[in-house]
Structure 1
Amino acid sequence: MELRAKATAASDPFEFGILVPRWAMMRALLVMASITVLATVPAAAQQFDGRDPVCLQIWEWGGSTTISCQYRSWDACKVAAASLSAMCLLNPYGQSPPERSRRSPHR
C-alpha cells in the first residue's frame, strides 16, 4: 500500500480553477508600475509674469485650467474671455500700484 500526501489548498495554486498566463501577469505588472511612476511625477508649475496685472483663467475639457497673465487691463482680458469658459483675475505676482496716502493734505 502506497501512501501519498494529499495536496492542501494552500499548496495548490490551481485548485480554484483560475489559470492566468504568465504574459498577462507581466502585462498587468507593467501597467501598474507605469501608473505608479506617472502618478508620482510632479505637474509642471505655471509661471506668472509680474509685469502684467491681469490674468485670464480658462477652464478646459476634463476640468483642467490654464492661466495666462498677459493683459494690461480688465477690458483687454474681458475681450479675450468673451465666449470662453473663462474669468479674469488679478495677477498674484503682479506689481501693485503704490498705495495712496491716507493722510489729508496739509493746509
Structure 2
Amino acid sequence: MRVLVSTILTLGTILASAPACAQTYDPNYPVCLQTYAFGGGHIDCSFASLGQCAASASGRGAQCFNNPYFAQGARKPPRQRGVY
C-alpha cells in the first residue's frame, strides 16, 4: 500500500512540475504569421491585415492565417433582413 501511495505522489509531482505553454495567439491582432523551420517554427500574431502579413512572409517558409482568438471588440453581427 505504501508503494502505491508513493508511486501516485511521485507521478503527481512530475506532472505538476511540467512546463506550461504560454498563449501563442495575441487577441489584439486579427492576422497571424506561422513560420516553418528545422527544429521548429513559431507563430507571430502582430499583423493588422493579410497584406501586411503576406509582405512579411514573402520569400520565407511561412503562411498567414486569421487569428482564431482575435477579440473583435464591441462589433455587432450584421442584421439579416427578411429572415423570421
Aligned to 1:68: 44
Relative to structure 1, the CA distance from residue 81 to residue 94 in structure 2 (aligned partners, 3 Å threshold; closer, same or farther) is same
Count the aligned residue pairs: 65
Partner Cα separation in structure 1 for residue 23 and residue 36 of structure 2: 15
From 74, 77, 83, the equivalent of 2:53 is 77
- Local SS of the residue matching 2:55: helix
Alignment of 1:1-107 (within 5 A): 41-42=18-19, 44-62=21-39, 64-96=40-72, 98-104=76-82
Question: What secondary structure is seen at the aligned counterpart in 2 of 1:70?
Answer: strand
Unaligned runs of 5+ in 1: 1-36
How far apart, in 1, do the equivalents of 2:20 and 2:60 lie?
24
- TM-score, normalised to structure 2's length? 0.63
**For residues 32-83 of structure 1, what are the alpha-carbon distances to aligned partners after superposition, in whole Å with 9 as ceiling and x for unaligned?**
xxxxx9xx84364343221110000001113x12000000000000000000
Structure of greater relative contact order (alpha carbons < 8 Å, 6+ residues apart): 2
Q: When the two structures are superposed, what TM-score results if normalisation uses the length of structure 1?
A: 0.51
One-letter amino acid of the counterpart of residue 100, structure 1 = P
The alignment yields a C-alpha RMSD, in angstroms, of 2.2
**Rg larger in structure:** 1
Percent identity between the aligned chains? 34
